Amino acid sequence: MRIRLVLSCALVLALFAPVHAQAASEADPAIKKSLTTLVNAIKYGKDDTAAQKVAFGAMAQGLLTDDWGKFSPAEQAELSRGLETIVRTLSFKKGREMFQYLDALLFEPARVEGNKAKTKSTIVVHRDLKKAEIIIDWVLVKEGDNWKVLDTVMLGESTLASLRDEQVKPLLKQGGPAAVMKALRDKVAEVKKS
């Protein structure tokens, strides 16, 4: 009886382990393509293409976590649009400065869990005869057939978690959704002027 149980478990593991590995390896090229497209689009100033590779709605929801439901659908949409404006204006600009010296973009295999994936990349840049390697952990979410960036982790620090903890949570505590919306509108107006 014990041998049969062990053989059954081994058979189940043998049948399902390759399926999980295959799913991750099939997603891997799509994830790498999405990230390569994002980086190259930022590098060459194709912000519309780059923006299509970022999950702004999921990102806005991730900033608010449990408080997402406290915002009306119109406010949720405005948050997503505002976040896109800020990322396109500030983050893409900073990325363009870095990626103009891009020499190589290397990826580790992606780790896929449901509709989320994580992969580590090494971005190699040469500037003024100096080589630098920037390590970025990318967190992606699958929207339809596309993998889109949800978060980046550099030096062990999540961009999304940092923004949530340092900016969004204090605003929510201070004045609720109205304070968050005011801060968003002020920031969007500021970046549009620059």
| CA 53 to each of CA 28, 41, 164, 169: distance values in angstroms, whole numbers, following the listed order | 15, 10, 21, 27
Question: Could you tell me if residue 19 is inside a domain?
Answer: no
For 130, the domain range is 29-193
Question: Could you tell me if residue 144 is inside a domain?
Answer: yes
User: Which residue from 89, 65, 46 is spatially nearest to 192, judged by alpha carbons?
Assistant: 89
- Give residue 2's pLDDT: 33
Question: Which DSSP string do the residues of 115-152 spell out, in sequence order?
Answer: TEEEEEEEEEEEETTEEEEEEEEEEEEEETTEEEEEEE
Question: Could you tell me if residue 180 is inside a domain?
Answer: yes
Question: Could you tell me if residue 168 is inside a domain?
Answer: yes
Q: What are phi and psi of 155, to 5 degrees?
A: 55, 35
Question: Could you tell me if residue 8 is inside a domain?
Answer: no
- Give residue 15's pLDDT: 28
In 3-state terms, the chain is what percent helix, strand and coil (to 5)?
65, 25, 10
Per-residue model confidence as pLDDT tens for the chain (194 residues)? 333 322 233 222 222 233 333 344 556 899 999 999 999 999 999 999 999 999 999 999 999 999 999 999 999 999 999 999 999 999 999 999 888 888 889 999 999 999 999 999 999 988 877 888 989 999 999 999 999 999 999 989 999 999 999 999 999 999 999 999 999 999 999 999 98
Question: Could you tell me if residue 157 is inside a domain?
Answer: yes
173 in Cβ contact with 183 (< 8 Å): no
Domain count, the chain: 1
Question: Could you tell me if residue 57 is inside a domain?
Answer: yes
- Give residue 25's pLDDT: 52
Q: pTM of the entire structure?
A: 0.81
120 in Cβ contact with 136 (< 8 Å): yes
CATH number of 168's domain? 3.10.450.710
Question: Could you tell me if residue 37 is inside a domain?
Answer: yes
